[in-house]
């Protein structure tokens, strides 16, 4: 596997507009999948990664849409019908329409080998090989997201009924979307492949404001941390995607980025993990109007206020 990871890194490094630091290497890390580790000393404020358009465009929603308009206009019409029938979907996050068109694009144009590990081993010895083929076959065949959970796993979310309902709704929603787009017994895209590509895009695609919705080879090996000293990522129309260090790294240290200021519910739903002591775990409790104005004449007013303060509640 690590030979294939090195081939991908070298291929990205040779692509126009790209930069991959020689001091950063990809390794399989227990409990994290693939991660990026310093192989040499890296100073603070170092550009460790840059991805120009040539490397990410083939895996972008922009490319997928252009290709579908030319080769599969019927799919675009079905997507438009789906959006038109669901105002919340049409007016909400752009993730769903982007993920649907890109997901189908990946499945049709970059088919995954039935045995990726064997395919990667064979690819590692080939002299000339397309980055696209290497990268897609190096993607994990399973992402442990609630999208795949069974009823027993959901039952473990005791006291988290809202989280449970939200996650179960997601699985039902994508099942309905699949039926709308492909019906039953589709010979080209089966439900398992469809859910796989959605899980890959949930956990790996960039989708920041004013950024392309895309997978980026090598970039998606940066794992998440929220320590305040993780690497800084940015996107610029001219430079593309960049990652700079905010501290120095010794050999053997893993380099992280921050996926965003997300509570554990979103981290679990999108990425399949949670972080202990997550400071972004906030629960908004609706309060009846008659209770929104505190009564200073209440003899227990001070004690109630102190309890709310101690439990980090705001009123």
pLDDT digits (tens, 9 = 90+) for 63-91: 999 999 999 898 899 888 888 887 777 66
Query: Does any domain span residue 126?
Result: yes
**Total Cβ atoms within 10 A of residue 112:** 18
Instruction: Find the CATH number of the domain harbouring 267.
Output: 3.90.1410.10
What is the CB-side half-sphere exposure of residue 205 using CA atoms within 13 A? 28
Instruction: Flag whether 300 is in a domain.
Output: no
Asked, for residue 56, whether it belongs to a domain, the answer is: yes
Residue 249 lies in a domain: yes
Residue 99 phi, psi (nearest 5): -65, -35
Contact between 235 and 241 under an 8 Å Cβ cutoff? The reply is yes
pLDDT of residue 264: 86
In a domain, 283, yes or no: no
- 219 occurs within a structural domain: yes
Q: How many domains does the chain have?
A: 1
What is the reported pLDDT for 17?
96
In a domain, 108, yes or no: yes
**pTM score, two decimals?**
0.84
* pLDDT 10s digits, 192-238: 999 999 999 999 999 878 899 999 999 999 999 998 899 999 999 99
Answer yes or no: is pLDDT of 116 > 70. Answer: no
pLDDT in tens, 234-268: 999 999 999 999 999 999 999 999 998 888 888 88
In a domain, 307, yes or no: no
- Distance in angstroms (rounded) separating the CA atoms of residues 48 and 26: 13
How many Å separate Cα 246 from the centre of its chain?
23
**Count of C-beta atoms within a 10 Å radius of residue 291:** 9
Q: Which residues constitute the domain of residue 138? A: 2-271
Rounded average pLDDT over 90-101: 82
* Mean local confidence (pLDDT), 303-313: 71
| Tokens 């890109």 found at | 102
């Amino acid at each position: 596997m690590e030979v294939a990871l090195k081939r991908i890194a070298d291929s990205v490094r040779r692509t126009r507009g790209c930069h991959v630091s020689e001091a950063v290497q990809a390794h399989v890390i227990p409990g994290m999948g693939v991660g990026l580790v310093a192989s040499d000393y890296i100073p603070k404020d170092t550009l460790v990664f840059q991805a120009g358009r040539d490397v990410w465009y083939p895996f972008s929603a922009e490319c997928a849409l252009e290709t579908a308009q030319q080769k599969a206009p019927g799919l675009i019409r079905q997507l438009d019908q789906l959006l038109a029938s669901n105002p919340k979907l049409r007016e909400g996050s752009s993730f769903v329409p982007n993920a649907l068109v890109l997901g189908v694009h990946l499945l049709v144009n970059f088919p995954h080998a039935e045995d990726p590990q064997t395919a990667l081993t064979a690819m590692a010895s080939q002299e000339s090989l397309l980055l696209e083929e290497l990268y897609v076959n190096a993607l994990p065949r399973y992402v442990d997201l609630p999208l795949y959970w069974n009823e027993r796993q959901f039952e473990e979310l005791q006291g988290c009924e809202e989280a449970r309902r939200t996650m179960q709704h997601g699985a039902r929603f994508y099942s309905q979307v699949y039926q709308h787009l492909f019906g039953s017994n589709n010979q080209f895209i089966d439900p398992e492949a469809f859910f796989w590509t959605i899980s890959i895009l949930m956990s790996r695609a960039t989708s920041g404001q004013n950024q392309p919705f895309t997978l980026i080879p090598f970039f998606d090996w940066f794992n998440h941390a929220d320590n305040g000293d993780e690497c800084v990522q940015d996107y610029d129309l001219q430079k593309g995607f960049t990652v700079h260090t905010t501290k120095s790294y010794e050999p053997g240290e893993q380099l992280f980025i921050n996926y965003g200021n997300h509570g554990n519910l979103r981290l679990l739903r999108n990425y399949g993990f949670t972080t202990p002591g997550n400071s972004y775990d906030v629960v908004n409790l609706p309060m009846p109007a008659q209770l929104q104005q505190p009564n200073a004449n209440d003899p227990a007013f001070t004690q109630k206020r102190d309890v709310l303060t101690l439990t980090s509640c705001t009123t």
